[in-house]
Chain A
Amino acid sequence: MPIDVDAVVLSNNRLSPNYNVVAIAAPEIATQAQPGQFVMIKQTLDSEPLLRRPFSIFEILRDKDGEAKGLSLLNKPVGTVTQRLFEIEAGERLQCLGPLGQPFSIVSFPEAAWMVAGGVGLAPFLTLAETLREQKVETTLFYGGRSTVDLVYLESFKRLDVSLVLATEDGSRGETGLVTLPLARELQSVSTDQPLSLYACGPTPMMQVVAKLAHTHGRSSEVSLEPVMGCGLGGCYSCVVPLHSQSNNLSPQLVRSCREGPVFGGDQVVWAELI
């Protein structure tokens, strides 16, 4: 059940001018959260800026007994709200509503899991990797960014024994080019006897390619979409995304990503109409 926590900021780890990780004390949300779910945050309940913003739950923070005590958010400063979140200091407060939305489906051994992340689309995959590794699922992270400085938190994935396939557009780390290139190659070479599911989060064109590649190779995929959201609870109907209609009706259904998503099957999405 979602709750609103007036959460204390525990730390703000600025990884680079492009990324920071804000840890907040919100045990009531952290204990309930499942991989792929999100929170709606706001720095104050003032009217400027008015609306909350959706953020994936990046990490569940635990004390030494393993009790969930908080969560963290991976942030990229691109607008007013994300810039403020980049500048926030420990001890300040953040209104945090969650957990919200439908989580990823968790596959189980011997099925393997390939997570495909582009830039800040890494956000939902640390908690997913943790859960998958608890299930002994062999997990690989395909992770692309503009430059090496955009690839963050690699150590945390390594600690979970997640295999890494890296790509940068400028060639400063891993393969040169888009992360979907090594993904396409690996999908060709992996044995068809190996059951495998894909998860993707990142720029829409990247997720579209992942969904298409998965489909071509007969693999199931789930994508985490990030449209503009108003309320996060299903009240405003702002965050709709086009899904293939279940009936034979040709026009796509517009479905709320906050409530029915943000995780959808890659085959469900009408990519040509997703903005």
Chain B
Amino acid sequence: MNSVDLSVQLGTLRLPNPLVAASGCFGYGLEYADVVDLSTLGGIAVKGLFLDERQGHPPQRIVETPSGMLNAIGLQGIGVHRFIDDQLPALREYKVNIFVNICGSTIDEYAELARILSDTEGVAALELNISCPNIKEGGITFGCNLNGTYDVVAAVRKVTKLPVIPKLTPNVTDIASFARAAEEAGADGVSLINTFLAMAIDVETRRPKLSNVVGGLSGPAIRPIAIRMVHQCRQAVKIPIMGMGGIASADDVVEFMIAGADAVQIGTANFVDPFIWSKLLKGLTEYLRRHGHVSVRDIVNSVDLSEGQTKTDQTWTSS
């Protein structure tokens, strides 16, 4: 059988395949070393790191919703120094692309984190978390303001040679304008989408189900909105896009790539099935073979927007 090239290019960064573990859904990576061969992943976006350790929100931190879940973890984390000292040395051994997701309360903190990580061996790229809906300070305040997005990206761009990939929030009116601001500020790519700000209430007690009252919605429930946003951003910018939001099957991976994603991230589905990675790779390869593609890059941004009836309509009318 013909071999299929699964490798993708994110700017200067080559990934062996387009499947990247999404930040906040894969710990720092090593947690999954027992169940997944980490070296087979396209990359790992590690749990968001601040300069210092953070405790996060008190429980209850998650709640299940229709085809999805809300989380309000609050970016509990070990801080960048303990990540570099305790996690990165072992992680490096797997030769997997490490996307370090960084968060700050101020632009200076993002720049400081970027400086520290630029001097560290084994970091493939920086993913700027400007979209976490669960913390009051920093984060999403940059992600919901075009100037804020531009300024954070530009400040980090200035201090690092590593690829800079801001992760965008869907909690804005026009996400494509944020992708454009990131591109203009010198971003090497954009990740989208982070979770939707959402809420669930226990009707018996009338209490919010999350201790933080509100949290971020993820899972298959948000997938169609994520697809639309990837499609819109693809029209707006030339830089690579990492698409995510409810991917749970190989067809979902394909859908995101057709919509315009150069690579994808898998988050919530990894909680449901930590063995999903090999299944997705197999399904993706089968899809590409079935459609006669030699490279996964052939399907990126291949949505057919030609005028006329959709294929579904044609099938339906002819039957």
Contacts and interface: CB of A to CB of B under 8 A. Distances in A.
- Do A and B bind? yes
Interface of A: 1-4, 42, 45, 47-52, 95, 97, 227-228, 230-231, 233-242, 251, 253-254, 259, 273, 275
Contacts, number: 103
Contacts of B34: 1-2
Given A48-B67, A51-B271, A233 B32 contact: yes
Given A47-B220, A240-B76, 12 more contacts: A228-B62, A228-B63, A230-B71, A230-B271, A231-B270, A234-B31, A235-B31, A235-B32, A236-B24, A238-B62, A238-B71, A239-B59
B69 A251 contact: no
Given A230-B69, A273-B58, A235 B271 contact: yes
A59 to B, nearest CB: 25
A44 to B, nearest CB: 10
A261 to B, nearest CB: 13
B60 A228 contact: yes
A47 B61 contact: no
Nearest to A1: B34
Given A4-B275, A237-B56, A275-B59, A50 B73 contact: no
B150 interface: no
B305 interface: no
B25 interface: yes
Nearest to B36: A233
B60 A275 contact: yes
B62 A52 contact: no
A231 B273 CA distance: 9
B235 interface: no
B248 to A, nearest CB: 6
Interface string B240-283: 00000000100000000000000000001011111100000000
Contacts of B1: none
Contacts of A233: 27, 31-32, 35, 274
Nearest to A234: B31
Contacts of A2: 34-35
20 contacts: A1-B34, A1-B35, A45-B273, A48-B67, A50-B64, A50-B220, A51-B272, A95-B273, A228-B62, A230-B71, A231-B274, A233-B31, A233-B274, A234-B31, A236-B24, A237-B24, A237-B56, A237-B61, A240-B59, A275-B211
Given A97-B274, A233-B31, A236-B271, A51 B60 contact: no
Nearest to B221: A47
B68 interface: yes
Contacts of A231: 270-271, 274
Q: Which 6 A-B pairs have the closest CB atoms?
A: A231-B271, A234-B31, A238-B62, A47-B67, A47-B220, A235-B27
Residue among B59, B68, B69, B248 with the most chain A CB within 10 A? B59
Given A235-B25, A273-B58, A50 B272 contact: yes
B106 interface: no
B26 interface: yes
B274 A4 contact: yes
B31 A48 contact: no
Q: Dominant SS at the A interface? A: loop
B308 interface: no
A51 B64 contact: yes
B55 interface: yes
Given A4-B274, A4-B275, A230 B62 contact: yes
A52 B35 contact: no
Contacts of B71: 230, 236, 238
Residue among A47, A95, A233, A239 with the most chain B CB within 10 A? A47
A47 B69 contact: no
Interface string B180-220: 00000000000000000000000000000001000000011
B268 A50 contact: yes
Contacts of B274: 4, 97, 231, 233, 235
A4 B277 CA distance: 13
Contacts of A241: 59
Nearest to B274: A233
A95 B279 CA distance: 15
A264 to B, nearest CB: 15
Interface in B1-35: 24-27, 31-32, 34-35
Given A235-B27, A254-B76, A228 B59 contact: yes
Given A42-B272, A50-B68, A254 B35 contact: no
A32 to B, nearest CB: 12
Contacts of B73: 236-238
A95 B56 CA distance: 31
A236 B67 contact: no
A16 B56 CA distance: 41
Contacts of A97: 274
A4 B270 CA distance: 13
A239 B275 CA distance: 21
Nearest to B25: A235
Nearest to A275: B59
Residue among B27, B34, B71 with the most chain A CB within 10 A? B27
A238 B47 CA distance: 13
A80 to B, nearest CB: 9
Contacts of A228: 59-63
B251 to A, nearest CB: 13
A95 B184 CA distance: 47
Interface in B66-90: 66-69, 71, 73, 76
